Amino acid sequence: MSQYTRIETIQVMGSTKIIPLFYNKDISIVKKIIKACYDGGARVFEFTNRGDHAHEIFSELIKWVNKELPGMILGIGSIVDAGTASLFMQNGANFIVSPVLNSDMAKVCNRRKIAWIPGCGTLSEISYAEELGAEVVKIFPASQIGGPGFIKGVKAPCPWTNIMPSGGVTTEESNIREWFNAGAYCVGIGSNLMIKDENGNFDYPTITKLTKNAMLIANKSLYPSNNL
Position 39 in a domain = yes
Residue 69: HSE in the Cβ half-sphere, 13 Å Cα cutoff: 23
Residue 189 lies in a domain: yes
For the entire predicted model, the pTM comes to 0.95
Q: What is the pLDDT of residue 228?
A: 54
Q: What is the pLDDT of residues 9-32, one digit of tens each?
A: 999 999 999 999 999 999 999 999
CATH number at residue 15: 3.20.20.70
Q: Is residue 210 one of the residues assigned to a domain?
A: yes
pLDDT at residue 126 tops 70: yes
Q: Is residue 115 part of a domain?
A: yes
Alpha-carbon gap, residue 97 to 79, rounded angstroms: 6
Any idea which of 54-58, 65-69, 71-75, 143-147 has the lowest mean pLDDT? Answer: 143-147
Domain contains 143: yes
Structural domain for 75, as ranges: 6-218
pLDDT over 70 at 112, yes or no: yes
Q: Residue 1: inside a domain, yes or no?
A: no
Q: Is the pLDDT of residue 223 over 70?
A: no
Count how many Cα atoms sit within 13 Å of the Cα of residue 32 in the half-sphere of its side chain.
16
* Residue 162 and residue 227 in contact, taking contact as beta carbons nearer than 8 Å: yes
Does the residue 224 lie in any domain?
Answer: no
Query: Which alpha helices (DSSP H) does 132-200 contain, by range?
Result: 142-145, 147-155, 173-182
Measure the CA–CA gap between 218 and 22, rounded to whole angstroms: 20
Q: What's the confidence (pLDDT) of residue 222?
A: 60
Contact 217, 176 (CB under 8 A): yes
Domain count across the chain: 1
